[in-house]
A and B are shown apart, each in its own frame.
Chain A
Amino acid sequence: MKTIKDKVASLSFVALLMALTAAMFYTPTASAHGEKSQAAFMRMRTIHWYDLNWSKDEVAVNETVTISGKFHVFGGWPESVDEPDVSFLNIGIPGPVFIRAGSWIGGQLVPRSVALSLGETYDFKVLLKARRPGDWHVHTMMNVQGGGPIIGPGKWVTITGSMSQFVNPIVTLTGKTLDLETYNISNIYFWHAIWYAVGVAWMWYWAKGPIFIPRQLAVASGKASTLISSGDKKVGIVFLVGTIVANAYLMGATNDEYPVTTPLQAGTMRGIIPLEMPVPSVNVVVDDATYRVPGRAMQMSLTVTNNGDSSVRLGEFMTASVRFLEPNVLEDETGYPDDLLAEEGLTVSDNSPLAPGETRSISVTASDAAWEVYRLADLIYDPDSRFAGLLFFFDEAGNRQMVMVDSALIPSFI
């Protein structure tokens, strides 16, 4: 007997391990570092995030961080990605380490999906409240139905303190104050425990006597009808009627306790208002663009015409969240993530002020290890080998103009 028991014990252990493994099969974790593995054209030719600001880089639990800025919805949206008619302003963090206390596009709260228009620019803001201590990479993110997540730049934010301190107070429309972090949890445990006990009781009623072998023998020898006694039927009726009556009663009692309930709220929000962008007075034509693989540099030949009334200089080229700055014109003071900032990454063949009415052909080189690190160079292996980005020109008074460029890109391997 003892060996059988030991075998049962070890078999049971194996089965338990297998069950646990199966149960752990799924976890809804999300890596916050998918940015580099996303196809380069997705990052270059869809949503251009700029003027980003993370209000703090260290917060205590329960404090808030605001991520704000603008995004331009690229007019030459790639055909292989669905247009952003149903888009959701998300935030790329590893699970709920912050809670999303609010998110806005053009001043409108956007807890739901919205319709965005190609070629427009929107301002946005995401308010996060710190929940779980640690160092977290916080990305801007736009999910587009049929296109997947489009990840923007990420910046490290440190949360200090203890998660047990986190509170999420909410006041309902019926005037109740509660903490959404813990609300209803004991009620959930209570009812699940009660019904689990009822289920176990039913199982126990049957499992307490000898079951498999004697019952199988009885069924095989034609005595199946003796296996369910009238006592069994009575017990069954008690379980059946008890379950139905209890649920009917509980439904009524719950409705008395919570007289005001509403259905879940859902539906796409339309009519999000874009920013009114002035028509740029600088006109740019891309004559050609090449990417030199060994030098990790992109070189563009541009013909720039200044139709404005103040002379301008090129200060920045931005694509896929990487900012190439021309150091003589622009210095970053916003604390933009280091790995995405090429402070001296932009070289212009002639960047002397371009006078009003003047046209000039220039050669612009954007070079930085970021091409490699952020796998933007993989663009040349994309099915539609084009690049797109934003050029920022500055006039004498420091006013900025944004010009979109979009062109074919020819790789050069020597």
Chain B
Amino acid sequence: MSASQSAVRSRAEAVAVSRTFDWMILFVLFTAVLGGYHIHFMLTGGDWDFWSDWKDRRLWVTVVPIVAITFPAAVQACLWWRYRLPIGATLCILALLLGEWINRYMNFWGWTYFPINICFPSQLIPSAIILDVVLMLSGSMTLTAVAGGLGWGLIFYPSNWPVIAPLHQPVEYNGMMFTLADLSGYHYVRTGTPEYIRMVEKGTLRTFGKDVAPVSAFFSGFVSVIIYFLWHFFGKWFSGTGFIADDAS
């Protein structure tokens, strides 16, 4: 078969090839995003996402959505503007969570023996669904950044609460009060993570008393909006095809 001949000879074959490409691209995209996003997220979200005794009402709620909205914004830009596919955020989060679960189960538990109840990942799928559906309904980057980004940050704490609330029950232990998450962190020794590097419940939001989580979530949503714009542009730039001579679009 010479290069000038078509690879397919019938419509049925063309459809089959197109479908094969779908799965190929989807799989490669999924695994490539998994690798890149996972490393990005470990380096930026790091301990806040690793340990249950870092999942507090202030910094975890603030930091995780902000550093997590990056790849979803970029992949959305590619999949939406090129294919009108509103699955960029969900694809990223499914990839990230798969990578995280492999890491937590095989390394944190299987290799180092931390129980899963101290080292499970944060839940981000509801956030991703909001981001994708807002993009699909609005078809607008600005609206997705503003409404989607805010929703992304706001739903983060509620969507994690069913999993972390049980670990926030108080315990009296040797004359001090702990939450179960604190106690896990104390019991299951992390030689390389001394207590003082644990950044929780710090900040200047104390005037809000015990209703600090919603305030943190709003703040996180606002910053997510800005980060969304930034990474959406990265995504657009990254998915450009100007290097192909006859496609300048």
The reply to whether A12 and B165 form a contact with Cβ atoms under 8 Å apart is no
- Identify which of residues 58-99 in chain A touch chain B, using a CB-to-CB cut-off of 8 Å: 86-88, 90-99
Contact of B161 among A102, A200, A216, A254 (CB under 8 A): A254
Query: Closest residue of chain B to A227, judged by CB?
Result: B84
Query: Closest residue of chain A to B43, judged by CB?
Result: A26
Cα separation A200 to B50 with both chains bound (whole Å): 23
Query: Closest residue of chain A to B13, judged by CB?
Result: A1
Q: Which residues of A contact B28 (CB under 8 A)?
A: 11, 15
The reply to whether B42 and A8 form a contact with Cβ atoms under 8 Å apart is no
Q: Which residues of A contact B201 (CB under 8 A)?
A: 263-264, 266
Cβ of A349 within 8 Å of any chain B Cβ, yes or no, is no
Cα separation A18 to B183 with both chains bound (whole Å): 36
Contact of A202 among B24, B90, B172, B173 (CB under 8 A): B90
The reply to whether B137 and A143 form a contact with Cβ atoms under 8 Å apart is no
Cα separation A112 to B128 with both chains bound (whole Å): 36
The reply to whether A27 and B187 form a contact with Cβ atoms under 8 Å apart is no
Interchain nearest-CB distance for A248 vs B (Å): 7
Q: Which residues of A contact B53 (CB under 8 A)?
A: 264
The reply to whether B31 and A16 form a contact with Cβ atoms under 8 Å apart is yes
Interchain nearest-CB distance for A227 vs B (Å): 4
Known contacts being A102-B174, A113-B196, A228-B84, is A24 close to B103, with CB within 8 Å? yes
Cα separation A224 to B114 with both chains bound (whole Å): 49
The reply to whether A198 and B129 form a contact with Cβ atoms under 8 Å apart is yes
Most interface-central of A27, A218, A220, A253 (chain B CB within 10 A): A27
Query: Closest residue of chain A to B184, judged by CB?
Result: A180
Most interface-central of A18, A96, A109, A220 (chain B CB within 10 A): A96
Pairs A–B under 8 Å by Cβ, sample size 7: A96-B114, A109-B176, A228-B86, A260-B169, A261-B168, A261-B170, A263-B56
Cα separation A22 to B181 with both chains bound (whole Å): 28
Cβ of A357 within 8 Å of any chain B Cβ, yes or no, is no
Interchain nearest-CB distance for B211 vs A (Å): 11
Binary contact track A197-210/B, C-beta < 8 Å → 1, others 0: 01110110011001
Cα separation A372 to B232 with both chains bound (whole Å): 57
Q: Which residues of A contact B120 (CB under 8 A)?
A: 188, 192
Cα separation A87 to B195 with both chains bound (whole Å): 9
Q: Which residues of B contact A26 (CB under 8 A)?
A: 42, 103, 107
Contact of A96 among B85, B155, B177, B187 (CB under 8 A): B187
Q: Which residues of B contact A240 (CB under 8 A)?
A: 129-130, 133-134, 137
> What 20 new A-B contacts, CB under 8 Å, besides A111-B176, A187-B166?
A12-B27, A22-B36, A23-B99, A25-B38, A27-B112, A90-B189, A90-B191, A91-B189, A95-B112, A132-B113, A172-B169, A173-B171, A187-B162, A187-B163, A213-B18, A218-B84, A220-B249, A232-B136, A244-B151, A265-B179
Counting from the closest, the 5 A-B pairs by CB-CB distance are A143-B194, A30-B191, A22-B35, A261-B168, A227-B84
The reply to whether A99 and B31 form a contact with Cβ atoms under 8 Å apart is no
Q: Which residues of A contact B100 (CB under 8 A)?
A: 23
The reply to whether A18 and B169 form a contact with Cβ atoms under 8 Å apart is no
The reply to whether B179 and A264 form a contact with Cβ atoms under 8 Å apart is yes
Interface size class of A (residues with CB under 8 A): 35 or more
Interchain nearest-CB distance for B94 vs A (Å): 5
Known contacts being A23-B38, A264-B200, is A244 close to B86, with CB within 8 Å? no
Interchain nearest-CB distance for B226 vs A (Å): 23
Most interface-central of A24, A171, A200, A202 (chain B CB within 10 A): A202
Known contacts being A24-B106, A25-B42, A192-B123, is A92 close to B183, with CB within 8 Å? no
Query: Closest residue of chain A to B195, judged by CB?
Result: A88
The reply to whether B191 and A95 form a contact with Cβ atoms under 8 Å apart is yes
The reply to whether B38 and A192 form a contact with Cβ atoms under 8 Å apart is no
Interchain nearest-CB distance for A195 vs B (Å): 4
Binary contact track B176-213/A, C-beta < 8 Å → 1, others 0: 11111111101111111111111011100000001000
Q: Which residues of B contact A86 (CB under 8 A)?
A: 196
Q: Which residues of B contact A92 (CB under 8 A)?
A: 191
The reply to whether B113 and A95 form a contact with Cβ atoms under 8 Å apart is yes
Known contacts being A211-B22, A247-B126, is A182 close to B115, with CB within 8 Å? yes
Q: Which residues of A contact B123 (CB under 8 A)?
A: 191-192, 195
Binary contact track A226-270/B, C-beta < 8 Å → 1, others 0: 011000110011011001101110110111011011111110100
Interchain nearest-CB distance for B189 vs A (Å): 5
Most interface-central of B20, B93, B186 (chain A CB within 10 A): B186
Cβ of A101 within 8 Å of any chain B Cβ, yes or no, is yes
Binary contact track A23-60/B, C-beta < 8 Å → 1, others 0: 11111111010000000000000000000000000000
Q: Which residues of A contact B202 (CB under 8 A)?
A: 266
